Structure 1
C-alpha cells in the first residue's frame, strides 16, 4: 500500500499556471509524510480561480517558481505510484509546467481515483472529490491542495479496503484499468483498454435486382430526395 497522492491548484485556465501543490506519501497503508507549497506561477491570477482556492497574488510573492521547486519535488515523485482525483488534470498541470520550464519528465506510474470511484461507486450521483469524500466520511477543505491530496489518498485506501487489495496497481487492474505512465519525453494516460467490437453477421444474399451504385444517385437529392440526407453521411 505504497503510493503518493498529489493535487495542483492553478492561477488561471492555463495548465502551466500552478500556484500550489500538495503531496501525501503513504507507506504500508499509513500516511508517512505530507508536503505543501505555494508557487509563484509568474502569470496573472483570474478572479474565478481565486474564488475557488482562495490563493491571491500577494500570497505567492517571494515563493519559489515551479523550476525552483522542481529539484525538491522531483525526488518525491520519481519511481512512485502517483494518484490524483481527476488525474488527467493534475498530470497535465505537471507536464505543462515541466514543458514551460524545459525540465525533464520524471518516471512514474499514476492512477485516477475519480475514474476508479466512477467505476466502483456507481450508486453515487456524482464522483467529484467532495461527494466521494462525504460518502466515505472523509473530512475535506475542498480546493486546498494538501487537503485534496489527503482526501484522494484516503479514498484510494477505502477503495482498496473494500476490494481487499494491498497493491493499488492490482486494484486498478481488477477494475479494468491500466496505470498511466510518465517518462522522459512522454506519457500514457490512465485508462481502460478499448472494448473489442463484436463481429457483425454477414447479411444474407438476395436474388432481387442490384441496387444502384452510389455514384448514380444525385448528391443534391440523396436517397430521400433532399440534400440534408447526404449531410448526415459526411
Structure 2
C-alpha cells in the first residue's frame, strides 16, 4: 500500500485560501513520513466559522510561508503518486485552486476518496465522517487539525485494505469499485 494522504484547512469559503496542509506518506503499508505546515493564504481574510472550526487565525499564519513558497517541497510527494483524502473533492479543489492562484503547474497524480472507500467497506455505520471512523477504530484524533485528519485518512485506507485482504491500494479500489481519478 503506497499513497499520500492529504488534508487542507481554509481561511474562508474560497478554495484558494489554504491556511494549513498536512501530508502523510504510506509506503509498503506503513506510515513513513508526516509533514505539516501552516500556510499564509494569498489574502489574509479569515471567516469566523472557519476559525471556529480549525482554530487558525491571521496571527498564526502572518509570518508563515505561502503555498508557492512551499510548493517545491510538496510537489515531489504528490507527483506520479496516488493521493487520497477524506472528502477528496474538497481537498483536491483546494490544491487545484492554490496552484491556479499562484500560476503553478499541475502535477500528474491519481487520487481517490476515503469516504467512498469507507462507505463500501463498512456498510453498518450511521455516517462516514472522520470523527465517526476515528471513534470506530480507536484512532487518536483532533478533528480539523490537518495533520490528524490526514493521518486518520491514511489509517482508514490501511484498515480497509486489512479488512478486505486487498494486496494494494489499487486492488482495494478495484475490489470496491472506487473511482481513482486523474488530477
TM tier, smaller? over 0.9
Per-residue CA shift, 1:36-73, capped at 9, x if unaligned?
A: 01000032000100000000000001111111111111
What's 1:219 paired with?
none
Cα RMSD (Å) of the superposition? 0.8
Whether contact under 8 Å (2:112, 2:181) holds in the other structure is yes
CA distance in 1, matches of 2:132, 2:110: 26
Q: Normalization by structure 2: what TM-score?
A: 0.97
Match status 1:126 vs 2:127? yes
Is contact 2:119–2:128 with CA below 8 Å preserved after alignment?
yes
Counterpart secondary structure, 2:71 = helix
Question: Partners of 2:79 and 2:89 in 1: how far apart?
Answer: 18
How many residues in Structure 1 have an aligned counterpart in Structure 2? Answer: 182
Q: Is the 8 A contact 2:16 2:42 kept in 1?
A: no
Q: Distance in 2 between matches of 1:124 and 1:154?
A: 17
- Quote how far apart the aligned CAs of 1:122 are: 1.8
CA distance in 2 between partners of 1:166 and 1:133 (Å): 23
2:8 corresponds in structure 1 to: 8
Whole-Å Cα distance in 1 between the matches of residues 42 and 80 of structure 2?
Answer: 29
Deviations 1:147-185 (A, max 9, x none): 100000011000000001131111111111231111xxx
Paired residue for 2:165?
Answer: 164
Q: What is aligned with 2:21?
A: 21
Secondary structure of the 1:104 match is coil
1:109 to partner: Cα distance: 0.9
Q: Which runs of 5+ in 1 are unaligned?
A: 183-234
1:38 equivalent in structure 2? 38
Which of the pair has the greater relative contact order for Cα pairs under 8 Å at 6+ separation? 2
CA distance in 2, matches of 1:111, 1:169: 10
- Larger fraction in helix: 2
CA distance in 2, matches of 1:55, 1:136: 27
Separation in 2, partners of 1:12, 1:63: 17
Q: Distance in 2 between matches of 1:90 and 1:48?
A: 18
Q: Which residue of 1 aligns with 2:54?
A: 53
Q: Which has the larger radius of gyration?
A: 1
Residues 201-222 of structure 1: per-residue CA shift (max 9 Å, x gap) = xxxxxxxxxxxxxxxxxxxxxx
> 1:98 is matched with which residue?
99
Q: Match of 1:153?
A: 154
Q: 2: CA distance between counterparts of 1:78 and 1:68?
A: 17
| Secondary structure of 1:72's aligned partner | helix
* Structure 1 position 111, deviation (Å): 1.1
Distance 1:103 1:11 in 2: 20
Task: Describe the SS at the equivalent of 1:140.
Answer: coil
Separation (CA, whole Å) in 2 of partners of 1:68 and 1:136: 36
